Amino acid sequence: MNHPFKLLFIAFLCLASYLNGQADSPAFLQIPELTVAPDRSDWTYEVGEPVAFTISLHAHGNPLSDVEVSYQVGPELHEGPAQSAIIRDGRFSFEANPLQKPGFLRCIATVTLDGEQYTARGTAAFSPERIRPTQVEPADFDSYWSDQLESLEKIDLRPVKTPYPKLNTPEVNTFKVRYQSWGKQNGEAPFYGVLTEPNKEGKFPAVLQVPGAGVRPYTGNHQLAKAGFIAFQIGIHSIPIDLEGDVYSNLRYAGLHNYWGYNLNDRDEYYFRRVFLGCVKALDILTTHPNWDGETLIVYGGSQGGFLSIVTSALDKRVTGLVANYPAYCDVTGTLHDRAGGWPKMFRYDRYRQENMIATTAYYDGVNFAKRLTVPGSYAFGYNDTVCPPTSMYSAYNVITAPKDLTIQVDMPHSPSSSFRDETFQRVLRIAGMELETQSSR
């Protein structure tokens, strides 16, 4: 064999042997798990009590070592400059300066492994039951909203109820619904929703499900209807609930982008005025339903929907109870007082820090409606929420004088787990007085 060809043949054999060895050796995918936790199981302390955080890093249950971690510690949304440390045997612990007033202290940790960045957070509460809102209460708050409700009576509901057979099940009938409420400049505007009802004879309790922030289609709440409720799930933007294509995403990033700031300089034309009144008007759909039991009327939602649950229940005395998860738009002025304000955190931006805009929020902030609740409510949120900071949510919860209960999942961010959703369903049943009946029938 010629010398050049001999070398080429040997190289080929070496490559084949290498590739064969590679095929026999699997590649292991390392998926790190980064967590941050205060040193108490409930993550809750009294003001001034010592606190320590532990940053843990594992992969497949085994601790990782000699990994650099960057971390920040401070009041939520004001965590301060980054520091660095080395994680050894899967953990790094340190003592932090405790808060000297009610609030939340957060640690944010970040590591980079194989070019990928991983972030986790843990949040310690300090005397959260003592947090009070920064938002002011206008002297004419009650008279203003009384006038708005009186004007709403002038609107003819004019409901249009259309069968939605593709979403029917053997147990649930589904309908698309359109009704009228107030829009801009005292003009009427349509609202849209999906009504689901049990496919059987009888009288049933009713639930209004109000939406989280954003622009999206709706398909109704079949879980509640299957459990024996007449459930009405609504949108708030006066657009149909079943449009096709990319209409919703286009509106989300164009025509309805930052809708929460529209006309904030005018309390009478502010976007949420039409939203509040549209939610109240939606109750007419349920109370005029021939199969409503005439007694139980619940309002339920999460995030923006948690906020709208509080507002709707405070405005309309027909409501008998509410379930509000991680409510938004509570104590939005917190940002102006160097602490976390509620979603949408508009006062982070200079363009909204105008006197008339700040004044408008006082008529719409969830804390001022929370003070006026008179019906039982069930509330839930997490300490790790960065969209609706727990300081803002406690600002509303702590001023409620009506019967209330609170569920805390300390490590939950703004995305609930499946177990949290299951627990929420049970809370709706409990507020409706159906929990024992449902459990006994299993």
Residue 431 — very low, low, confident or very high, per pLDDT cuts 50/70/90? very high
Average model confidence (pLDDT) across the chain: 93
State the pLDDT at residue 194. 98
pLDDT tens digits along 271-284: 999 999 999 999 99
pLDDT tens digits along 214-270: 999 999 999 999 999 999 999 999 999 999 889 999 998 888 999 999 999 999 999
Given a cut of 90, whether residue 388 has pLDDT beyond it is yes
- pTM metric for this prediction: 0.92
Once rounded to an integer, what is the mean pLDDT over residues 57-78?
96
State the pLDDT at residue 14. 52
Check residue 345 and give left, alpha or beta (phi > 0: left; psi -120 to 50: alpha): left
Sorted by where each starts, the structural domains of the chain and their CATH numbers stand as: 32-128 (2.60.40.10), 141-440 (3.40.50.1820)
Whether the CB-CB separation of 345 and 339 falls below 8 Å is answered with no
Whether the CB-CB separation of 379 and 324 falls below 8 Å is answered with yes
Q: Cα(156)–Cα(9) distance, rounded to whole angstroms?
A: 89
Among all chains, which residue has been given the structure tokens 């971390």? 71
Q: Cα(280)–Cα(210) distance, rounded to whole angstroms?
A: 10
Whether the CB-CB separation of 166 and 143 falls below 8 Å is answered with no
